[in-house]
Amino acid sequence: MIGKVYAIDPQPVDPTHTRWFGAGVLVTLGIMSQEFALLVAVPLLFLAPGKRRPVLLAGMLTMGLLTLAALLASTSPRLVWDALFGSIYYTTTDTLVMTLHLHGTPLVFVARILPVLLAAVISWWVVTHHRDRAAMPTTMVSLVAVSLSLRLVFEQNIFGYYYMALAVALVALDVLGGRIRSSLAAWLVMVSLVYLVGPSTTFVQLVRTPLGHDALQVLTPLVVLLSVAMMTFYLLRRAGMREAVSWLAVLCGCVLVWPSTRDPLSGGVSQLWWQILLVSTGVALAAYPLFEMLRTPHHVSHAEAESVLVVPSD
């Protein structure tokens, strides 16, 4: 007697579950290394579809418990607390928050809690009023970039490497748009110049190298030549006035930051004003797609809205 063999197909696995679980794992690892990664977790929690949000939370919780167990088994609870929550300390860095002369709990609230709360409010507003467009890749990355920029607004100390997370998000935003904006390139050049030439941790590391002082003297003239070349290129096109203005701003910044005793403006601009200038323009670069979404009528189709939200040329 020959029996029949029936093949039982396994239930297909939804790949989006795995992706959202993996996103939760990566977000938790980011938070464990740097607390400001919470500013990435907040928009993701709002942007995740209803059925995927528990999967995202499960990934975060699983990795969080495993990491905490490993840390507690290998070190003291005090060191774990310091590693997870960091510290609020004072330096000579001149920032907006430091001008408020806050101490203790008020400083912790403004520098640590307020950016997370604002990121949650912005994310909630975007998802509530533009639910059909909130899941677009450009909108998601723009929202993450805006959230990351809030750290630079409310930080009590700002060093050059603090801009790294926002810079990566802005580059990813432009990659989604299919073109690196000239204004973004100018912003990256200016941030690098200010915190390489100016007094920062990056400056200290550079001057310790054998050719560090020579590099400081050469760096600004090279950026001046680059700015003039870019301005000339865009002006010759006769259609790149906005791009030319971006590089004109970089040229003006070179005059202000030039490390020369003959330059009366050198060192005359405090880090507070550099924070206002660089952070405000960084926020504008990050928020552009969100502003465009506000201007796009609700009756526009999903594909048309995506084409509008893609980062255009300057």
Indicate whether 40 and 142 sit together in one domain: no
Exposed, middle or buried: residue 92 (CB in 10 Å: 0-12, 13-18, 19+)? exposed
- What residue numbers bound the domain in which 54 lies? 17-66
Number of Cα atoms under 13 Å in the Cβ half of residue 67: 19
* Cα 167 from Cα 137, distance rounded (Å): 17
Q: What is the pTM of this model?
A: 0.81
Indicate whether 49 and 101 sit together in one domain: no
pLDDT for position 195:
83
Last residue of a domain, one of 51, 66, 81: 66
CA angle, residues 163, 164, 168, in degrees to nearest 5: 120
Mean pLDDT of 202-212: 66
More confident residue, 134 or 118: 118
pLDDT for position 207:
65
Q: What percent of the chain is modeled with pLDDT above 70?
A: 75
Whether 72 is covered by a domain: the verdict is: no
pLDDT for position 188:
94
Indicate whether 141 and 38 sit together in one domain: no
pLDDT for position 37:
87
Measure Cα distances from 40 to 29, 172, 177 in Å: 12, 14, 20
Last residue of a domain, one of 47, 66, 85: 66
Mean pLDDT of 283-289: 90
Whether the CB-CB separation of 250 and 257 falls below 8 Å is answered with no
Indicate whether 252 and 197 sit together in one domain: yes
pLDDT for position 89:
54
Spell out the residues 6+ positions from residue 139 whose beta carbon is closer than 8 angstroms to its own.
126, 130, 133, 289, 290, 293, 309
Least confident of 11-25, 27-41, 83-97, 254-268: 254-268
Phi-psi region of 236 (alpha: psi -120 to 50; beta: other; left: phi over 0): alpha
Indicate whether 56 and 154 sit together in one domain: no
* Cα 107 from Cα 97, distance rounded (Å): 8
Indicate whether 149 and 204 sit together in one domain: yes
Q: How many domains does the chain have?
A: 2
Whether 76 is covered by a domain: the verdict is: no
Whether 6 is covered by a domain: the verdict is: no
Mean pLDDT of the chain: 79
Indicate whether 132 and 53 sit together in one domain: no
pLDDT surpassing 60 at residue 303: no
pLDDT tens digits along 60-109: 999 888 888 887 887 777 767 766 665 555 555 678 888 888 888 888 88
pLDDT for position 237:
79
pLDDT for position 253:
85
Indicate whether 157 and 227 sit together in one domain: yes
Indicate whether 144 and 277 sit together in one domain: yes
Whether 54 is covered by a domain: the verdict is: yes
Indicate whether 58 and 108 sit together in one domain: no
More confident residue, 270 or 190: 190
Indicate whether 162 and 41 sit together in one domain: no
pLDDT for position 150:
94
Whether 12 is covered by a domain: the verdict is: no
Indicate whether 233 and 176 sit together in one domain: yes
